[in-house]
Amino acid sequence: MRVLKSHASSLKAPFSVTGKDIDFSYRFETSREHGPHMRICLTTQTSKFEHVRVPLHGTHQAINCGLALAMLDQLKSSGYEIDIEKATKALGDVTLAGRMEMICHDPRIMIDGAHNAASIRALMHAIGQNIPYDSMVVIFGCNSDKDIEGMLNELQYGADKVIFTSSSSPRAVSPQDLADIYGSICGKMYQTAVSLGEALKLAKSAVSKEDLICITGSFYLIGQAKTRLQSN
Nearest CA to 37 among 14, 61, 70?
61
CB 51 within 8 A of CB 94: no
| Residue ranges covered by each domain of the chain | 2-92, 101-230
Confidence of residue 77 (pLDDT cuts 50, 70, 90): confident
Other residues' Cβ atoms within 10 Å of the Cβ of residue 132 = 10
CATH architecture label of 101-230: Alpha-Beta Complex (3.90)
Q: What 3-state class would DSSP assign to 146?
A: coil
* pTM greater than 0.85 (yes/no): yes
Rounded to whole angstroms, how far apart are CA atoms 34 and 89? 15
pLDDT of residue 87: 86
Q: How many Å apart are CA 197 and CA 141, to the nearest integer?
A: 13
User: What is residue 5's predicted lDDT score, i.e. its pLDDT?
Assistant: 87
Mean pLDDT over each residue of the chain, to the nearest integer: 93
DSSP, collapsed to helix, strand or coil, labels residue 186 as coil
Q: Find out whether the peptide bond into 107 is cis, omega within 30 degrees of 0.
A: yes
34-72: pLDDT as tens digits: 999 999 999 988 888 899 999 999 999 999 999 999 998
Q: What is the pLDDT of residues 218-229, one digit of tens each?
A: 999 999 999 998
